[in-house]
Amino acid sequence: MKKSLWILAVICVINSMGFGIVVPLLYSYGKKFGITSETLGLLTAAFSIAQFFATPLLGSLSDKWGRKPVLVISLIGTCISFILFAQARSVIMLFAARILDGLTGGNISVAQAMVSDVSSPEDRAKNFGILSSAFGFGFVAGPALGGLLSKYGMHVPFYFAAGIALIGVLLTVFLLKETNCKTDKERAYKFSFASLVSILKQKTIGVSIFIGFLLTMAQFTMIIGFQTFTNDELKLSPAQTGIFYAGFGVTGIIMQLLVPFFTRVCRSKALILLLSTLVCLGAMTLAGLASGLWLFAAAIGIYGLFNGLRNPMLNAIIADNSNDDEQGKVLGINQSYTSIGQTLGPVTAGFVTAISLHSIFFLASLYILTALLLSFKLKRQDC
């Protein structure tokens, strides 16, 4: 189990690092093909929409075919998409590359299903915390590496991202063992796109998925506010903003590594989620009231810490309440809503920027407040 978990963690670092390398460069790279700030939103949405529909399907296929072949297919698709992006000669190729990456972007949900396969209910939150911290490390390191590689040519980071995705393929093929060990007769394939809606009606799983959707929207709303506030109000340089944001990412990684401590102190994952969401609400509200660097930094730091508990707790709750033969599908649907939350957060933030920069943080607080109210419902179901 430990060997599979740590190999998965390395694969997740590689995968998220590739994503982190590429995303900050999409706009500057796409400008030479006619990408504008408006069409950048469409390019981002194309990836998220493709992932919304494809991820639960890939998760269901991993329930039927096994995790390993689907993870290999996903990583190969990511590798090819980065090569297409580097070789792009038109806007159409850029969109085709991002859509392909979205369609094969089942990496996260399949990795989560593999962790669930090899974990006992008592260890799930801890192991999901290790996986989340691996993703977080890649996201923190990726943008810095992408900026460094871009000095050698704007296409170089995309080739590098394709190369490390290929390393992920090789690690999966040669080192990772299949974790879905059911026989063909035992493996089920029960998927329809209607389940993207019907799953929200399920008592615990539906509430957990919707809480995750709201908290993801809050985080990506905050990111827009963070970028504009540090630039326009605090007058930080791009380098200073980058270091500041890296610090935010590191706080989340630290908290995810401390998940075993929290689960020993409190056995209720729903209660840990509720309390961490309450702290996040207070910190986000404080960020909206801040006008200087130190208060803003303290608020964002506290938010980053306790927001780090979100994914390990929610993924563990969802896995604990899912049938063994539907783990991939359910975690895939959860990732689908996460990808949509990552898109809608920045979009809704754009609508309130006309009011004030501070209103972005208050909008994020509203999302967190709604998630907090649902967390009370989740805690009652846990009793």
How many whole angstroms separate alpha carbon 120 and alpha carbon 192? 29
Residue 129 CB neighbour total at 10 angstroms: 26
Residue 205: predicted pLDDT:
92
Confidence check: pLDDT of 215 > 90: yes
Length of the chain: 383
Which tokens belong to 23?
Answer: 């995303």
pLDDT band at 344 (very low <50, low <70, confident <90, very high): confident
Query: 40 exposed, middle or buried (CB, 10 Å; 0-12, 13-18, 19+)?
Result: middle
The reported pTM is: 0.81
Residue 85: predicted pLDDT:
86
Q: Which residue has the higher pLDDT, 120 or 190?
A: 120
Tell me which of 57-61, 126-130, 146-150, 184-188 is least confident.
184-188
Percent of the chain with pLDDT over 70: 93
Residue 183: predicted pLDDT:
53
What are the Cα distances from residue 305, in Å, to 19, 178, 268, 285? 22, 33, 19, 15
pLDDT band at 237 (very low <50, low <70, confident <90, very high): confident
Residue 92 CB neighbour total at 10 angstroms: 10
Query: 120 exposed, middle or buried (CB, 10 Å; 0-12, 13-18, 19+)?
Result: exposed
Tell me which of 22-31, 130-139, 341-350, 358-367 is least confident.
22-31
Residue 38: predicted pLDDT:
62
Tell me which of 12-21, 88-97, 235-244, 358-367 is least confident.
235-244
Confidence check: pLDDT of 267 > 80: yes
Residue 277: predicted pLDDT:
96
357 DSSP assignment: S
What's the pLDDT tens digit per position in 352-382? 877 888 899 999 999 999 999 999 999 887 7
Reference 21, options 69, 104, 86; nearest CA is: 86
pLDDT band at 184 (very low <50, low <70, confident <90, very high): low
Helices (H) and strands (E) in the chain — how many of each? Answer: 17, 0
User: Mean pLDDT: which of 130-134, 200-204, 278-282 is highest?
Assistant: 278-282
Residue 236: predicted pLDDT:
79
| Helix segments in 150-292, DSSP class H | 156-175, 195-198, 203-228, 238-257, 259-265, 269-289
Residue 317: predicted pLDDT:
93
Confidence check: pLDDT of 319 > 70: yes
Confidence check: pLDDT of 275 > 90: yes
Mean pLDDT of the residues in the chain: 85
Residue 348: predicted pLDDT:
87
Confidence check: pLDDT of 238 > 70: no
What's the pLDDT tens digit per position in 141-158? 887 788 788 888 888 888
How many whole angstroms separate alpha carbon 190 and alpha carbon 60? 7
Half-sphere exposure of 59 (CA within 13 A, CB side): 32
How many whole angstroms separate alpha carbon 373 and alpha carbon 280? 13
Residue 187: predicted pLDDT:
52
Confidence check: pLDDT of 188 > 60: no
Residue 232: predicted pLDDT:
80
Sequence-distant (6+) residues with CB within 8 A of 202 are none
Residue 247: predicted pLDDT:
83
pLDDT band at 106 (very low <50, low <70, confident <90, very high): low
pLDDT band at 182 (very low <50, low <70, confident <90, very high): low
Residue 226: predicted pLDDT:
84
